[in-house]
Homo-oligomer: A and B are copies of this chain.
Amino acid sequence: MTAPSAAHGLLICVSGPSGVGKGTIIREVLRRRPGMAHSISVTTRSPRPGEQHGVDYYFSDRESFRRMLEAGEILEHDIYCDHFYGTPLKPLQQLVAAGTDVLLDITVPGSLAVMENYPDCVTLCLLPPSLTELERRLSKRGTETAEVMQKRLAKAREEVNMASCFQYVVVNDDLAETARQILAIIDAEHCRYARLAGIEETILAR
């Protein structure tokens, strides 16, 4: 007999300072649990060679993006290099309604917007083991000048300080351990009474 369980999937915001390793962790979590999905952003920039609509991004023109925004179909958005990037609500709602858990790779300010528009989401802040380690990870990425690097680090420091806005904090020290902890958080959230309200009546009726 199958145990009763929440029919709906969860939306899990995986956030944290730039450089903490959100993308790598999300790929590892999805590799360990292939039944999960990740949210695909909608963007007004043009596809690059090899990029596929609905796989890498949903590609949209500015007018359609604006209409989606006005219709409340964008959970959160940002502008980068004169292009819009946003999290579309509809594909997410479809996945969640079908019982799929969806991971969202998202900035700290983006997370705060999602919390407002989707209060049922699970919010998780990845933190580096130390500021020194974050500096090392940020500097590995590119060939920025010392000045740019200092700005990025100052921003990352601010983002670490936003940890208290999140339900969960995971220190991303070891890839396997971090993925394990995130999966534990997802499994635990599925067991929260608030997400299973009424389960006792179902059980008593059997």
Residues of chain A touching chain B, judged by Cβ–Cβ distance below 8 Å, are 1-5, 124-125, 127-133, 157, 160-161, 163-164, 166-171, 173-174, 177, 180-181, 183-185, 187-189, 191-193, 196-197, 199-200, 203-206
Contact = CB atoms under 8 A, between A and B. Distances in A.
B3 A197 contact: no
B128 A171 contact: no
A191 B168 contact: yes
A169 to B, nearest CB: 5
A150 to B, nearest CB: 15
A187 B181 contact: yes
Given A1-B173, A131-B203, A167-B193, 10 more contacts: A1-B133, A3-B129, A4-B129, A125-B193, A157-B204, A160-B200, A163-B193, A164-B200, A185-B188, A188-B189
Contact of A173 (B3, B167, B188, B193): B3
A206 to B, nearest CB: 3
9 smallest A-B Cβ distances: which pairs? A130-B206, A188-B188, A184-B187, A3-B171, A3-B173, A184-B184, A185-B188, A163-B200, A168-B191
Given A4-B129, A129-B1, A204-B161, A168 B197 contact: no
Contact of A187 (B157, B164, B188, B193): B188
A169 B127 contact: no
B196 A169 contact: yes
Nearest to A124: B191
A153 B165 CA distance: 44
Contacts of A5: 171
B196 A191 contact: no
Contacts of A181: 187-188, 191
